Structure 1
């Protein structure tokens, strides 16, 4: 069973390499030059044999010396070119593999990232492909040269003295008996090492990306222990790998040295009996050295191959994961149509439903506000509209068609999304406002979008203006500034559908006033769905949906819900600071629990 898995993994590795489409002509030339280099090297012992058998000062001729120099020069040039071409092929293979993997990572679905830590995914891209790169770029050359050298040397040795050659070949099954079980151990160690490396990278990525949280929580000792645990496990795997390598080298050296002693002893006897000449014995020993030296290189190659096979399994798992096809489907030309959410039910994995039989319509150009306790499924609804997930039942339609009928690119290009976190990328303010725009944005367009988002007020105060660096995740800007840049980005996209996820809930009162004005500019004429915690958004909405535990328990305008929905009234009085002006309403059966912000 283990052999089947190992063979299958090796085949997967070879398939993965073939799929990167390495240059066949470069590979062919490299192998041909390698053959030439090795064949030229095989001539040297024969030359030495003749030199020893007829050695005298008068027998050495200038032509022989010139031929020897030419032979060594040709071997060096051919070998150097072969190494360069094989290295080039290897680098190209890994570059294509990384390109394919990077394209795949961008196309993977959101559920994949829900179930895989970012650091582990990064490790597949860097560490695992690095192992494959090391094998191809550094060890394949030695393997090819070594195999050719061994085959050529054995062939000539069989011609010189087949009996001594057969004695020498008895070491082959002995070496196999040593290498096969050790190779299996190395495969298991390699898989464990790659997994632990991925986990450790995940810890580093998580901690360093949230270093401010770590420091404000005094969590340095905790995270040190988490990192120390990963370091210790990597150390243990490294020690195990070292033990295996420490076993391989001495055992192989012992076998080869014993073989050399036997050959010299047995060959000496044959020379003394006249069956073998002294020159032939010297040539035999030189060919034996040409076999011994590549064996260590080949052993290293197979050790690295086991590592690469282990890394390949993880890479292939990522490459085979479900991905999004953003171009497949119809083009949505007119998004200014009713969006119907028709009895939608959704759950994450095999858990309980987060949304249950949601049923409502978003009218074009109108504002719909969603309110309700935290954890009720409001943000999940946004994720369904963005098509990050697919509902288990029900459907969302626009213009009479399911949104799944339209291509993801076409659908998402109609949506502008402004979240509470207002994520920014490392780069300039200009980069962030123009992010994702597939056309050249003029300075006039950029400044107009910034002005409508009231972002120009602070941008122009910076010495670098729109070329100001915002830092990683926009850390150099305040929350209100980040929010206004996010609004400017949405304005530049000119979306027909707008989703606002608590876009002002974390701002101070001064910033909130400015951002609210920017949002008014953004919402004009657009179909807007907003998760609201603020009175101004709620009272101006044409429709309010109150969602509890994944269900709509109330719908209507602000004044209607104040009269008919107890929890909405509680929300309005506590969160929106409305004075008690109407009598309390009996709690409907679906309502339950206090309001949670």
Structure 2
């Protein structure tokens, strides 16, 4: 299990870098370039919608003025002009009332003009309806742009994962990588859907409302702007406090997912060794860490909205006081003050919305940073273009002074030379850590050599494309891998072309898997999951061997391929392997030396070097490292029988 390694590496590598909010935010927006036309259409709809919403309060203010003028005019003597009525009030000493009514357009003796009021209200209804429809269209366009962008980002992540070297996955927990490819991308999509359109709408609303406020009364507009610096300080302080917690929240989410994935895939092992309590304790620790990070992030960002509402109420009080004084002096009509108070609310609301969206934006950018870390990871060396391939693939493999090390400071294989002729079977044996599997990984180009070269039929494999190289190699690993699907589909996975059911069954018979497959409820159409539930470990191995049969490779690699089968089945498989290996170059990694007696050449590796090579009989006669390994296994086998 990868858990201990993953825990040892926690806090190292790119995951420990801090979030660069501005750079990551700009880079995230850069992914929307292919959606420029959609975003331009969305922006056009938002501009029109905001413009209509902005003039709405002014229209309603006109309706208020008409109603107020009708009420005032009805109380005035008919036949007089507005100026005559105001002069009469001043002569009576009602200067304050006269000044207030100076800004009202009333006609003495005339009541409320309901026709005019109705037309104004109908116009306002049309304006707000069209504004709402335009905003609905803009929202649909935003969702379309976001979903397409997330679709491409998922493709980028999938493509990147296929280009990453095996060393990348060796150093990270599988669940943590999966969390980036699933949870983080989903979080980015939800963040953009909830905030992108609303953010544009809020920013345009601020500009439009501010312009209307200066048009109605520049003095009141300046009063409303008094609280803006306070709002900016609140948003900046709260955002700075909550930003690191969002980064930690998603890092902890990845760690928790990695632990859950490990415990699920290894649940049998956990139960066998009685580690349920330890697993539960570790889960509780990771869960508590996620709770703490999430709580701090949400709490710190959550106080943004009440603080902004407080600032908004201060703004409302200031505007109401100064607006009342302006009406009293006749500088503004009541309708204009009413409109301005609505504008004041409209101005404060988008400011509050922008500040409140900070938690969403910070969470999304934190996830984007994790995705960008994955996309920026160093890739495996690119295939040469155009790739070189042998004129005829015969299977001659040569290792010329090959050196390799996982860690630059720790040599593993040094100056290894080997020639394997076509059709020969080479068995590789040695103690654990001797470099047996590493040698196969180098042949498959899962890793590239750090010195020397490996040739296939005279062509350096580094000059071949990986697909062409691996197309001629069939591989059966000790750790079986099956995917969710039918058994027939799992066997057919080994073929690069469409195969018939007959070919699938023939491969299964060659691997001695046909008998047990036909005993299953649906035979070859039996559906199994990725863990191979319903079939034993040995039966899973037989299915993977049948997959290798079907691939018809030039080079065959068997890494402990018979380790999970019983002795009788092992004998059958050895006979089948002999048939499969006829005319093919075969590399067999084995711990049970009884399975490789018939190999053309046996290589004994220790500390990354070949210390012995020869046939089974010759190596036993030499009484060297191979003989010691063989005798140790023979003594062990006799002891087990006794």
TM normalised by structure 2 equals: 0.86
Are positions 1:481 and 2:539 aligned together? yes
Are positions 1:426 and 2:438 aligned together? no
Alpha-carbon distance between aligned partners in 2 of 1:215 and 1:394, rounded to the nearest angstrom = 46
1:498 and 1:528 in contact (8 A); partners too:
yes
Alpha-carbon distance between aligned partners in 2 of 1:400 and 1:22, rounded to the nearest angstrom = 46
C-alpha change, 1:159 and 1:202, in structure 2 (3 Å) is same
Q: Which moved more, 1:160-169 or 1:459-468?
A: 459-468
What's 1:58 paired with?
A: 113
1:186 and 1:307 in contact (8 A); partners too:
no
Q: Which has the larger radius of gyration?
A: 2
What's 1:517 paired with?
A: 575
Alpha-carbon distance between aligned partners in 1 of 2:350 and 2:115, rounded to the nearest angstrom = 31
Are positions 1:350 and 2:408 aligned together? yes
Alpha-carbon distance between aligned partners in 1 of 2:246 and 2:143, rounded to the nearest angstrom = 23
What's 1:12 paired with?
A: 24
Are positions 1:78 and 2:103 aligned together? no
C-alpha change, 1:6 and 1:149, in structure 2 (3 Å) is farther
SS class of match (1:475): coil
Alpha-carbon distance between aligned partners in 2 of 1:16 and 1:440, rounded to the nearest angstrom = 41
C-alpha change, 1:439 and 1:280, in structure 2 (3 Å) is same
What's 1:248 paired with?
A: 304
TM normalised by structure 1 equals: 0.92
C-alpha change, 1:375 and 1:90, in structure 2 (3 Å) is same
SS class of match (2:287): helix
Alpha-carbon distance between aligned partners in 2 of 1:425 and 1:97, rounded to the nearest angstrom = 25
Query: Shift in Å at residue 530 of structure 1?
Result: 0.6
What's 1:399 paired with?
A: 457
Are positions 1:228 and 2:284 aligned together? yes
Are positions 1:445 and 2:457 aligned together? no
C-alpha change, 1:332 and 1:285, in structure 2 (3 Å) is farther
Are positions 1:97 and 2:109 aligned together? no
C-alpha change, 1:384 and 1:7, in structure 2 (3 Å) is closer
C-alpha change, 1:20 and 1:284, in structure 2 (3 Å) is closer
Alpha-carbon distance between aligned partners in 2 of 1:293 and 1:436, rounded to the nearest angstrom = 61
Are positions 1:136 and 2:148 aligned together? no
What are the residue-to-residue correspondences of 1:472-551 with 2, within 5 Å?
472-535=530-593, 537-551=595-609
SS class of match (2:147): helix
Question: Of 158, 181, 196, which residue of structure 2 is paired with 1:125?
Answer: 181
Write out per-residue CA displacement over residues 466-520 of structure 1, whole angstroms, 9 at most, x where no aligned residue: 1112233223212322122111111111110011112223322122123223322
What are the residue-to-residue correspondences of 1:192-231 with 2, within 5 Å?
192-231=248-287
Question: Of 378, 390, 397, which residue of structure 1 is paired with 2:448?
Answer: 390
Write out per-residue CA displacement over residues 528-574 of structure 1, whole angstroms, 9 at most, x where no aligned residue: 01113345543211111111122211111112111113331122233
Alpha-carbon distance between aligned partners in 2 of 1:565 and 1:344, rounded to the nearest angstrom = 27
Write out per-residue CA displacement over residues 284-333 of structure 1, whole angstroms, 9 at most, x where no aligned residue: 00111111222222112333222222222221111011224468422345
What's 1:589 paired with?
A: none
Query: Shift in Å at residue 90 of structure 1?
Result: 1.2
SS class of match (2:475): strand
What are the residue-to-residue correspondences of 1:266-277 with 2, within 5 Å?
266-277=322-333
2:395 and 2:554 in contact (8 A); partners too:
no
Alpha-carbon distance between aligned partners in 2 of 1:447 and 1:327, rounded to the nearest angstrom = 38
Consecutive unaligned residues of structure 2, counting only runs of 5 or more, are 1-16, 71-111
SS class of match (1:353): coil
What are the residue-to-residue correspondences of 1:230-309 with 2, within 5 Å?
230-309=286-365
Question: Of 214, 222, 226, which residue of structure 2 is paired with 1:166?
Answer: 222
1:554 and 1:565 in contact (8 A); partners too:
no
What's 1:585 paired with?
A: none
What's 1:457 paired with?
A: 515
1:341 and 1:358 in contact (8 A); partners too:
yes
Alpha-carbon distance between aligned partners in 2 of 1:326 and 1:230, rounded to the nearest angstrom = 41
C-alpha change, 1:379 and 1:510, in structure 2 (3 Å) is same
1:131 and 1:311 in contact (8 A); partners too:
yes
SS class of match (2:476): strand
Q: Which moved more, 1:395-404 or 1:195-204?
A: 395-404
What's 1:155 paired with?
A: 211
Q: Which moved more, 1:533-542 or 1:283-292?
A: 533-542
Query: Shift in Å at residue 351 of structure 1?
Result: 4.7
Query: Shift in Å at residue 271 of structure 1?
Result: 0.6
Alpha-carbon distance between aligned partners in 2 of 1:535 and 1:154, rounded to the nearest angstrom = 84
Alpha-carbon distance between aligned partners in 2 of 1:98 and 1:578, rounded to the nearest angstrom = 52
C-alpha change, 1:246 and 1:443, in structure 2 (3 Å) is closer
Q: Which moved more, 1:259-268 or 1:102-111?
A: 102-111
Alpha-carbon distance between aligned partners in 2 of 1:353 and 1:7, rounded to the nearest angstrom = 36
Are positions 1:37 and 2:93 aligned together? no
SS class of match (1:54): helix
Query: Shift in Å at residue 20 of structure 1?
Result: 5.0
Q: Which moved more, 1:438-447 or 1:377-386?
A: 438-447
C-alpha change, 1:294 and 1:498, in structure 2 (3 Å) is same
What are the residue-to-residue correspondences of 1:174-185 with 2, within 5 Å?
174-185=230-241
The count of corresponding residues between Structure 1 and Structure 2 is 576
What's 1:584 paired with?
A: none
Q: Which moved more, 1:10-19 or 1:222-231?
A: 10-19
Q: Which moved more, 1:279-288 or 1:295-304?
A: 295-304
> What is the CA RMSD across the aligned residues, in angstroms?
2.1
Query: Shift in Å at residue 357 of structure 1?
Result: 2.2
Query: Shift in Å at residue 64 of structure 1?
Result: 3.1
Query: Shift in Å at residue 400 of structure 1?
Result: 2.1
Alpha-carbon distance between aligned partners in 1 of 2:494 and 2:565, rounded to the nearest angstrom = 26
